[in-house]
């Protein structure tokens, strides 16, 4: 404790970080190990100690005593007396359940078969009794000596269910090395580039010193900060066969382009596993959709079964926050000992961010957007919300509409078109994205601006050609649906105009803002067009609070005819 300490630790497990206090940066780095950043405006950041954040710390090798010692070292006031007990009691739960491959000593009596069976070891008898009495868990767990047997295919489901009950699983199963693959980064090659310090730190946080407890987890970095480079550097560190899982075929081909540009890997060693081709090579890039496809609800997942038979040494899940969706959980069964999740935000509107912990591993590294912006690694973004009135006929239609219909009427406010035109004229020569939710609305904007439209039904070849034309400066304006929310590399985009969205989705807001955060010589501008005196203002307020909490400058103005 010190009178000028940068931290104020409160009894509700929240922590305030004074950015102007001495040693604030040291405290921030310490907090990143065991607390979650919730708000990061200009002067005071807010962190929260949660069970998940403490289990993340335990998984990374931190002890309860170390966490308490760091709080006491940086705290301005005395740490509340119950905090050390809560921290120790919570962190002691990690390691009480350990998942193993089948072992000869465990084989007596399960009758589940050796090759497709795992064993959940319980370190305490009371925990074993508690789990044995759980009827829901009984669907997947078969009692054994000192623990439970489970099928390999139920691995992700069981880990998620146990976490819901407050018991994180220390997963030591599938400790295979994978097949060797020589791969190195091409530093100094044109165009000249190098690893940024935070990218090196991110890789080191995952790789560690090679001891148990490292080699799996999640790296959270803003869009435009080089998550793909972190993935490739991890591949170069391990030099093992790698499966990369992406959101769509466009993202998959962007990964391939980056691999050929920044590593010494030969194109013949990179395979695309998609609806277009089924190449399984030392580096295979697939999508979540193809892996979880099956003819009907009762059939097996044929592509998943095929890829599981390959001796992967590393699995990279891009946009890993998508993974917890039930349809994607089967992907989590592809758990080699080394697995890396990459994302710009772990925020989910269904509140199930903690499932990533079970399916991929703990959060290893996280840098606030504003930190990278201040250092010039990503562009400064100026966020502006413009509130636009409905015209008289639309105002009447809105007043008598059902609640769900109100959202669409407000979203498709024709008054937004004139505002969008004014914004485009205000940014001549810049790369502009107009992003929306409703296809009919987007078609109107495409006609209005005589600009290309990209939606989910746009053929892949056409999408790629349009993205390439935008990157080359041949197209200055694209109209895009939510397909552009994820994994689209458009470094020259500096203006985004959001004309409609998915209610108050913070995740969507972060992803759309990320389209314009690539580093450039000028500021970026993110405009949200909102219908005044409608439900859109409520949704916009939720998104605004999220961005302000992250430290972004956000202004609101009204549009008058």
Both 354 and 381 in one domain: the answer is no
> Does a cis peptide bond (omega within 30 degrees of 0) precede residue 365?
no
Sign of CA dihedral 247, 252, 257, 262: positive
Both 129 and 84 in one domain: the answer is no
In a domain, 179, yes or no: no
Both 359 and 261 in one domain: the answer is yes
Strand partners of residue 381? 524
- Residue 519 is predicted with a pLDDT of 57
Both 222 and 341 in one domain: the answer is yes
**Could you give the number of structural domains in the chain?**
4
- Cβ proximity of 199 and 233 under 8 Å: yes
Tokens of 242: 């790698």
Domain ends where: 137, 171, 205?
A: 171
Q: Is 305 exposed, middle or buried (0-12, 13-18, 19+ CB in 10 A)?
A: exposed
Both 354 and 307 in one domain: the answer is yes
- Cβ proximity of 19 and 40 under 8 Å: no
Domain that residue 274 falls in: 197-367
d(CA 358, CA 337): 14
In a domain, 183, yes or no: no
- Cβ proximity of 438 and 408 under 8 Å: yes
- Cβ proximity of 122 and 97 under 8 Å: yes
Both 87 and 101 in one domain: the answer is no
Both 277 and 303 in one domain: the answer is yes
Give the alpha-carbon dihedral of 199, 203, 208, 209, to 10 degrees: -100
Both 80 and 102 in one domain: the answer is no
Note down pLDDT in tens along the chain; length 561 residues. 778 899 999 999 999 999 899 999 899 889 988 998 887 777 888 999 999 889 988 887 889 999 999 999 999 999 999 999 999 999 999 999 998 876 555 445 455 555 568 899 999 999 999 999 999 999 999 998 899 999 877 888 898 899 999 999 988 775 578 899 999 998 766 566 789 999 999 999 898 876 666 788 899 888 778 899 999 999 999 999 999 998 888 788 889 999 999 999 999 999 999 888 899 999 999 988 888 888 887 877 788 777 777 888 999 999 887 775 655 666 666 666 688 999 877 765 556 667 777 778 888 888 877 778 778 787 777 889 999 999 999 999 999 998 889 989 999 999 999 999 999 999 998 889 898 888 999 999 999 999 999 988 888 788 888 888 988 889 999 998 877 666 566 667 888 898 987 654 555 656 666 666 665 566 788 898 999 999 989 888 877 877 776 667 789 999 976
pTM, full prediction: 0.76
In a domain, 178, yes or no: no
CATH code assigned at 317: 3.40.50.300
d(CA 407, CA 526): 21
- Residue 254 is predicted with a pLDDT of 86
- Residue 504 is predicted with a pLDDT of 46
Q: Is 351 exposed, middle or buried (0-12, 13-18, 19+ CB in 10 A)?
A: exposed
- Residue 247 is predicted with a pLDDT of 83
In a domain, 192, yes or no: no
Both 429 and 455 in one domain: the answer is yes
Both 224 and 309 in one domain: the answer is yes
- Residue 520 is predicted with a pLDDT of 58
- Residue 444 is predicted with a pLDDT of 95
- Residue 212 is predicted with a pLDDT of 61
Neighbour-count burial for 201-216, b at 16+ CB within 10 Å, e otherwise:
bbbebbbeeeeebbbb
In a domain, 190, yes or no: no
Domain ends where: 91, 120, 141?
A: 91
In a domain, 205, yes or no: yes
In a domain, 306, yes or no: yes
In a domain, 181, yes or no: no
Neighbour-count burial for 70-92, b at 16+ CB within 10 Å, e otherwise:
bbbebbbeebeeebbebbeebbe
Domain ends where: 66, 91, 116?
A: 91
Neighbour-count burial for 272-291, b at 16+ CB within 10 Å, e otherwise:
bbbeeeeeebbbbbbbbbbb
Q: Apex CA 300: angle with CA 152 and CA 136, to 5°? A: 50
Both 357 and 462 in one domain: the answer is no
Both 417 and 332 in one domain: the answer is no
């Amino acid at each position: 404790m010190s009178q000028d300490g940068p931290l104020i630790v409160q009894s509700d497990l929240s922590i305030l970080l004074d950015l102007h206090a001495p040693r604030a940066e040291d405290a921030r780095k310490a907090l990143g190990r065991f607390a979650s950043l919730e708000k990061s405006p200009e002067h005071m950041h807010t962190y929260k100690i949660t069970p998940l954040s403490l289990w993340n710390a335990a998984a990374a090798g931190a002890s309860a005593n170390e966490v308490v010692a760091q709080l006491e070292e940086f705290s301005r006031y005395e740490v509340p007396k119950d905090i050390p007990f809560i921290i120790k009691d919570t962190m002691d739960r990690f390691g009480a359940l350990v998942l193993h491959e089948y072992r000869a000593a465990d084989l007596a009596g399960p009758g589940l078969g050796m090759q497709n069976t795992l064993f959940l070891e319980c370190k305490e008898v009371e925990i074993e009794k508690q789990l044995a009495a759980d009827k829901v868990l009984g669907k997947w767990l078969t009692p054994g000596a000192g623990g439970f047997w489970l099928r390999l295919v139920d691995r992700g489901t069981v880990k998620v269910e146990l976490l819901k009950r407050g018991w994180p699983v220390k997963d030591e199963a599938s400790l295979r090395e994978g097949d060797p693959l020589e791969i190195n980064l091409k530093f100094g090659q044109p165009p000249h580039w190098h690893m940024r310090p935070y990218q090196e730190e991110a890789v080191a946080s995952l790789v560690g010193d090679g001891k148990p407890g490292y080699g799996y987890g999640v790296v959270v970095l803003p869009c435009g900060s080089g998550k793909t480079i972190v993935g490739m550097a991890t591949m170069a560190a391990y030099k093992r066969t790698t499966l990369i899982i992406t959101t769509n075929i466009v993202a998959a081909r962007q990964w391939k382009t980056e691999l050929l540009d920044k590593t010494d890997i030969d194109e013949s060693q990179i395979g695309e596993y998609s609806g277009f081709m089924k190449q399984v090579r030392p580096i295979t890039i697939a999508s979540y959709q193809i892996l979880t496809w099956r003819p009907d609800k009762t059939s097996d997942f044929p592509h998943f079964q095929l890829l599981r038979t390959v001796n992967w040494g590393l699995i990279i899940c891009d946009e890993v926050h998508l993974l917890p969706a039930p349809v994607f959980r089967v992907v989590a069964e592809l758990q080699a000992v080394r697995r890396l999740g990459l994302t710009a935000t772990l925020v989910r509107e269904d509140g199930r961010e903690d499932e990533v912990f079970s399916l991929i591993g703990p959060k290893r590294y996280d840098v606030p957007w504003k930190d990278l912006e201040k250092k010039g690694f990503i562009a400064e973004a100026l966020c502006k919300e413009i509130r636009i009135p409905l015209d008289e006929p639309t105002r009447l239609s809105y007043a008598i509409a059902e609640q769900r219909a109100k959202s669409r009427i407000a979203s498709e406010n024709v008054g937004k078109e004139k505002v969008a035109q004014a914004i485009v004229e205000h940014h001549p020569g810049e790369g502009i994205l107009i992003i929306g939710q409703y296809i009919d609305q987007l078609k109107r904007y495409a006609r209005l601006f005589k600009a290309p439209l990209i939606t989910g039904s746009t053929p892949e070849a056409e999408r790629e050609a349009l993205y390439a034309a935008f990157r080359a400066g041949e197209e200055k304006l694209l109209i895009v649906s939510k397909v552009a929310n994820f994994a689209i590399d458009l470094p020259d985009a500096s203006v985004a105009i959001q004309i409609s969205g998915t209610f108050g989705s913070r995740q969507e807001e972060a992803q759309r803002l990320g389209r314009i955060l690539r580093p450039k010589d000028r500021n970026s501008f993110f405009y949200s067009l909102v219908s005044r005196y409608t439900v859109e203002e409520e949704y916009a307020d939720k998104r605004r609070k999220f961005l302000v909490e992250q430290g972004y400058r956000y202004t609101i103005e009204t549009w008058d005819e």
